[in-house]
Amino acid sequence: MNWKIGWWVMTVLALIIAAYAIALLFVPAMRAPFLQKRFATVPLAAYLHLAGSGIALAIGPFQLNTRLRNRFLHIHRWMGRTYVVSVLLGGVAAFALATMSQAGLPTHMGFGLLAVLWLFTTGNAYRHIRVGDRVSHRRWMIRSYALTFAAVTLRIYLPLSQIAGIPFDPAYQTIAWLCWVPNLIVAHERCTCRGLSSMTIMETGDGSGLGRVYVRWSRMLPSQLVTRVRLPSCSALRVQR
Ligand code: HEM
């Protein structure tokens, strides 16, 4: 799937779930019984979580789009600040909700760690842009949004687990982790793949003076032969980033 189609799929899914979260704020009848309980016992956390997280989820795709960012840098800055504040409010509230989430300790821990990492990655993205480091800023934003996107993956896995007939508690306990750990791994890979992980130039060893150039885009991928070159008399040269 190319990046453009991927961006559209991500954006549409994000906007649907964000609209669902905002609708829950205004239409109490839509709230599941467990959520009605949260609104009754910890209303501030419930309101802040749904509002902050919904806004962050809706804003993220537009922030990650390079063309939009380059064309409307001023808007990008303001939407970025809004994203950071939304994650701050939504994330602190998420941590509070995690301590009382359904299905016990495994979900408390899964959602709790997700909330902490969400705040951490977003804080790092903000810190890097404050000192003008755009490359690191982008990498941390990709990680942050991969965690924001857990709201979407959770709502894909949960109905699938119900269709598969898996009882709610074990399914929910697993999905509290599954909704974000793979997202984070893929995002981390994407960040490291974007830059060259290592490049190795090897002599063929047949005395012909020819060599091969291997590149490795990520530590988790094997080296790939990209071209053959004529070498000076060196046996192996390794350029490592
Ligand atoms: C990324 C960090 C997030 C964490 C740690 C988190 C955590 C939680 C927790 C613990 C609950 C209560 C679940 C329960 O009691 O079993 C919850 C509910 C909810 N969260 Fe999040 N959340 C996060 C992100 C988001 C985002 C980005 C959205 C965006 C729409 C969102 C939307 C909701 C909604 C709508 C509910 C109510 C439950 C439902 O009706 O599906 N969350 N969240």
DSSP letter string over 6-53? HHHHHHHHHHHHHHHHHHHHH-GGGS-HHHHHHHHH-HHHHHHHHHHH
Same domain, 124 and 35: yes
54 lines ligand 1 (CB under 6 A): yes
Same domain, 85 and 126: yes
Same domain, 98 and 33: yes
Of 175, 192, 209, at which residue does a domain stop?
A: 192
Same domain, 128 and 233: no
- The domain of 227 spans 198-240
CA gap 21, 26 in Å, rounded: 9
183-209 pLDDT per residue, tens: 999 998 877 655 556 667 776 667 677
DSSP string, 101-118: -TT-HHHHHHHHHHHHHH
Q: How far is the CA of 25 from the centre of ligand 1 (A)?
A: 13
Residues of the chain with pLDDT under 70: 1, 192-199, 203-205, 207, 216-222, 224, 226, 231-241
Structure tokens at 127: 């810190």
Helix (H) or strand (E) holding 201: strand 198-203
Same domain, 129 and 220: no
CA gap 208, 211 in Å, rounded: 9
138-177 pLDDT per residue, tens: 999 999 999 999 999 999 999 999 999 999 999 999 999 9
CATH (domain of 35): 1.20.120
Same domain, 135 and 220: no
Q: How far is the CA of 223 from the centre of ligand 1 (A)?
A: 40
Q: What percent of the chain has pLDDT over 70?
A: 85
98 lines ligand 1 (CB under 6 A): yes
